Amino acid sequence: MDGQVKVAVIYYSATGITYQMAQAAVEAAGEAGAEVRLRKVRELAPDEAIRSNSGWQAHRLETQDVMEAQPDDLSWADVIIMGSPTRYGMIAAQLKQFIDTTGPLWAAGALADKVYSGFTSTATSHGGQEATLLSLYTVFYHWGGIVVTPGYTDPSQFVAGNPYGASHTSNNGEVAPDHVALAATALTAKRAVLMGAALKRGMAG
């Protein structure tokens, strides 16, 4: 068994806020020694809706070279970190649609015994951040995954304030993730890699 931890960071982002957090997770996981894949999920919104928002349109062009997530990315990874903006206290439909394609992997037991974590962003203060992460983690529980969160394992978390996972408030897309949100995302990713490495060693026996 290859000893290097494999991490898939899979996200949805409309205007780029969640994408910036995904990049922070990728960087931190790489620094922790993991092999990392960054994957976006397929966009479902109609072109006219995207064109009506300059930030959305610009972000789509900016990330056109980011590969779209495939079920193989999940079976490949030891650690899976998912990110989504909040939609009424739940994950975005785009990420949910991708998750809904994983039935064959789940039925084969290929999603169990992996480490999972998550991050989110909201337009407004609070805005359902914790509920969104918990809704995402419910999926991971069904898969037989091991959910790893940042908790309050680092003093920075008493500033970031979300023990369930990294989160950020964008004020309707006007505020990019600051050092607090990015540090929380990095901590989340590094803890997931650390626990993923321990699990991989233990299961290798």
The sign of the dihedral angle between the CA atoms of 13, 15, 19, 20 is negative
pLDDT band at 172 (very low <50, low <70, confident <90, very high): confident
Kindly report the pTM of this predicted structure.
0.95
pLDDT at 146 over 90: yes
Contact between residue 118 and residue 81 where contact means Cβ atoms under 8 Å apart: yes
pLDDT in the model for residue 124: 86
Instruction: Identify which has the larger pLDDT, 161 or 129.
Output: 129
As its CATH architecture, domain 6-204 has: 3-Layer(aba) Sandwich (3.40)
- Dump pLDDT digits (tens) for 117-145: 999 999 888 788 999 999 999 999 999 99
- Dump pLDDT digits (tens) for 105-120: 999 999 999 999 999 9
Three-state secondary structure call for residue 25: helix
Contact between residue 45 and residue 85 where contact means Cβ atoms under 8 Å apart: no
The structural domains of the chain, with segments of one domain joined by +, span 6-204
Q: Over the range 50-60, which residues count as b (16 or more CB within 10 Å of their CB) and which as e? A: beeeeebeebb
The C-alpha atoms of residue 7 and residue 19 are separated, in whole angstroms, by 16
